[in-house]
Chain A
Amino acid sequence: MGTLAAFFILSAVTLIPAVVVVTSKNIVRSALALVPTFFGITGLYILLRAEFVAGIQVLIYAGAITVLILFVIMLTEGGTGIRIRQVNEQVPVGALASAVLAALLIWVFLRTPWPQGPGALPEYTAAQIGTTLLSSMVLVFEVTSLVLLISLIGAIIIARRER
């Protein structure tokens, strides 16, 4: 019961600011409204017993990505407080696409056989993640460093060309 109530509260915390993100006329406010959304998702991770992922969610998304988004907005015209419309004449097409996607997701959700076992949920601890990363997922782990390197180089090249 408690978990279900927590789930609904967290969903509200996630969804209500998300609506603000897509409807606000001020794009800086949109960016700031992302923060409570990220916190709602953090709570959902906790309900799934993924504590370490929740920590990452706050540190990377709420702490880092939001600041990056704000810097990008301040770089462009959006930071000058101009009021924009977030919708254009393509609303019907967009609504149709969202409806199709939602139907698809619900269909997949209903068709998937969800495994149900006895006992408590397993906890995804940092130690387990570390062991997995360094043993069976070692190739993925090393490729990740290359991906990070490439994104670093790409970021520098793009940003410097604009100067």
Chain B
Amino acid sequence: MLLLDWLYVAAFAVIGLLLAALSLAIVWVLSPRSAYPQKRMTYESGVVPIGQAWAQFNIRYYLFGLVFVIFAVEVIYLYPWAIVFRQLGKFAFFEMLIFLVVLLLGLAYAWRKGALEWT
């Protein structure tokens, strides 16, 4: 059954990509073509662009990315706990309490150090 479930997942992914590509193929057949150089210029509100857009970006994005990955991993640990903690009783609750308090400490540290500020 599990393999059958994921056969559908694979079919959805492949068909989704194919149908989307098909719509582009229809455009390829139907659409007019008149590409003159100005039309293929990068759009910058009518001004001729200076330099290219691929520039080095701010480290803030990276910092948010790092903090995000750590908390995403943490949320992953919550899922299996969420569906079994009822059967396992009090002990499981206190285990998760310790786990989450440690991570809340991490969040508090990040907050205190200004890692959550966009300045």
List residues of A whose CB falls within 8 A of some B CB: 2-3, 6, 39, 43, 46-47, 49, 51-52, 54, 56, 59-60, 63-65, 67-68, 71-72, 74-77, 79-81, 123, 126-127, 129-131, 133-135, 138, 141-142, 144-146, 148-149, 151-153, 155-156, 159-160, 162-163
Contact B115 A130 (CB under 8 A): no
Contact of B56 among A56, A60, A80, A130 (CB under 8 A): A80
Contacts A71-B62, A141-B95, A155-B66 known; A60 to B83 CB distance under 8 Å?
no
> Is B12 close to A, CB under 8 A?
no
Contact B102 A126 (CB under 8 A): no
Contact B77 A162 (CB under 8 A): no
Contact B3 A46 (CB under 8 A): yes
Contacts A72-B62, A146-B102, A156-B113 known; A130 to B67 CB distance under 8 Å?
no
Contacts A60-B69, A64-B68 known; A156 to B63 CB distance under 8 Å?
yes
Interface of A, helix, strand, loop or mixed by DSSP: helix
Contact of B88 among A131, A141, A142 (CB under 8 A): A131
Neighbouring B residues of A3 by C-beta, 8 Å: 3
List residues of B whose CB falls within 8 A of some A CB: 2-3, 6, 10, 13, 52, 54-59, 61-63, 65-70, 72-74, 76-77, 79-85, 87-88, 91-92, 95, 98-100, 102-103, 105-106, 109-110, 113, 115
Closest to B74 in A: A148
Q: How far is the CB of A62 from chain B (nearest CB, A)?
A: 12
Q: How far is the CA of A67 from the CA of B72 in the complex (A)?
A: 12
Closest to A134 in B: B92
Q: How far is the CA of A155 from the CA of B62 in the complex (A)?
A: 10
Q: How far is the CA of A3 from the CA of B84 in the complex (A)?
A: 31
Contact A67 B65 (CB under 8 A): yes
Contact B113 A160 (CB under 8 A): yes
Contact B83 A126 (CB under 8 A): yes
Contacts A152-B106, A153-B106 known; A43 to B10 CB distance under 8 Å?
yes
Contacts A80-B54, A149-B103, A155-B67 known; A127 to B80 CB distance under 8 Å?
yes
Further pairs besides A142-B99, A155-B66, A156-B63: 10, Cβ < 8 Å = A6-B3, A54-B6, A60-B69, A64-B68, A64-B72, A75-B58, A131-B87, A152-B70, A156-B109, A160-B63
Neighbouring A residues of B84 by C-beta, 8 Å: 127, 130-131, 134
Closest to B80 in A: A130
